[in-house]
Amino acid sequence: HAADAQRTDLMTITRHALNEQGRHPESRGDFTILLSHIVLGCKFVASAVNKAGLAKLIGLAGETNVQGEEQKKLDVLSNEVFVKALVSSGRTCVLVSEENEAAIFVDAPLRGKYCVCFDPLDGSSNIDCGVSIGTIFGIYMIKDKDNATLEDVLQPGTNMIAAGYCMYGSSCTLVLSTGNGVNGFTLDPSLGEFILTHPNIKIPNKGKIYSVNEGNARNWDAPTAKYVERCKFPQDGSSPKSLRYIGSMVADVHRTLLYGGIFLYPADKKSPNGKLRVLYEVFPMSFLMEQAGGQSFTGKQRALEIVPYEIHQRSPIFLGSYDDVEEIKSLYASES
Ligand code: AHM
Ligand code: MG
């Protein structure tokens, strides 16, 4: 009875991480401990996001009556929870958060071997209308624990050892890769546990959806403009692609991962480096895409091969189904 087996043999995210640990005999469970602290942060945000919605709905936002103030608070609150959870795990050394101007260097007694770059609450402009938002994270290994420097987080994405995101949507889903494929876990609120619901996610080779802020179209470069034109008016007799754009990277990428297609935040005349941040948006999502069989491209190179020189650096990004990204790559290649 498959259904019975599912109910009684639950693959929690911790159990999954412990299984993965078997691939690294030298590991002493440090990654599993780190992950459980990230998971704690995600559960906190999931609960806070739900309560924020509820408070608005029934008019309990008393203490934070000014609209928008509460939204800011949720950002800041989420960041504090993640920073404290990561530091107290005793497994981190350098932290980079979208919310903190400077990198955080963990004090010696609590120092561990991992560096975590994260956006605690991405897409926060979507909070007030109840649209999905998310947390994004990428993890590096420190080179020398006793000599942590900024260099430890200014590494190309190819050096990441794990990446993931948590989407706070109609359900709360955590998608994770430790470099051995991609797995999705859904929070079972009654258990308070993330359970494996999407094992070994593979992105379709080609998709029927493109996802971009078309309001920026007049400032795009020629290859981007041509690509989006082709999505609408394909030259090979295929059907036009559908446009879906939530404006929350986690939700747009999650849909792209599951249904296939392409997500783009290209360069434009106003923002020559696009909008999205390399360390905690572009790299983790690119890592996941490649692990799922897709691709990620900046307009110039494989996104994971960027060598960052500052922690809040931005990059244009085109990611998704292998064939769809191949097409934009060839447009940029024929342009140069
Ligand atoms: P944020 O970090 O300020 O929330 O901005 C990041 C978000 C992404 O989630 C999303 O992909 C993008 O901004 C949308 O930008 P735009 O509103 O310009 O289309
Ligand atoms: Mg962000």
H helical segments located in the chain: 2-8, 13-21, 30-57, 69-88, 222-232, 249-259, 283-291, 322-335
Which of 136, 271, 275, 318 has most ligand 1 atoms within 8 Å of its beta carbon, as the pocket-test mutant? Answer: 275
pTM for the whole structure? 0.93
Mean pLDDT of 13-38: 89
Q: Which amino acid is at 296?
A: S
70 lines ligand 1 (CB under 6 A): no
Mean pLDDT of 90-97: 97
pLDDT in tens, 199-247: 999 999 999 999 999 999 999 999 999 999 999 999 889 999 999 999 9
214 lines ligand 1 (CB under 6 A): no
Q: Is the ipTM of this complex over 0.85?
A: yes
Distance 18 CA to ligand 2 centre (A): 30
Q: What is the pLDDT of residue 57?
A: 44
Torsion angle (degrees, nearest 10) of CA 117, 121, 125, 127? 170
Distance 88 CA to ligand 2 centre (A): 24
Q: Which atom of ligand 1 is nearest to the CA of 119?
A: 2
pLDDT in tens, 243-269: 999 999 999 999 999 999 999 999 999
| Res 324 pLDDT > 90 | yes
Q: Which atom of ligand 1 is nearest to the CA of 252?
A: 11
Residue nearest to atom 14 of ligand 1 (CA): 247
Distance 137 CA to ligand 1 centre (A): 16
Confidence of residue 62 (pLDDT cuts 50, 70, 90): very low
**What Å distances lie between residue 301 and 321, 330, 334, CA to CA?**
16, 12, 14
Q: What is the pLDDT of residue 253?
A: 98
Residue nearest to atom 2 of ligand 1 (CA): 122
294 lines ligand 1 (CB under 6 A): no
| In contact, 304 and 296? CB cutoff 8 Å | yes
Which residue, 7, 4, 17, 10, is CA-closest to 183? 17
Q: In degrees rounded to 5, what are phi and psi of residue 63? A: -65, -25
Kindly report the CA angle at 201 between 197 and 207, in degrees rounded to 5? 125
Mean pLDDT of 29-53: 90
Q: What is the pLDDT of residue 144?
A: 87
Take residue 296 and report the two structure tokens written for it: 């990620």
Q: What is the pLDDT of residue 128?
A: 77
| Res 133 pLDDT > 90 | yes
Burial classification of residue 335, based on how many CB atoms lie within 10 Å of its CB (0-12 exposed, 13-18 middle, 19 or more buried)? exposed
| Res 87 pLDDT > 70 | yes
Distance 242 CA to ligand 2 centre (A): 25
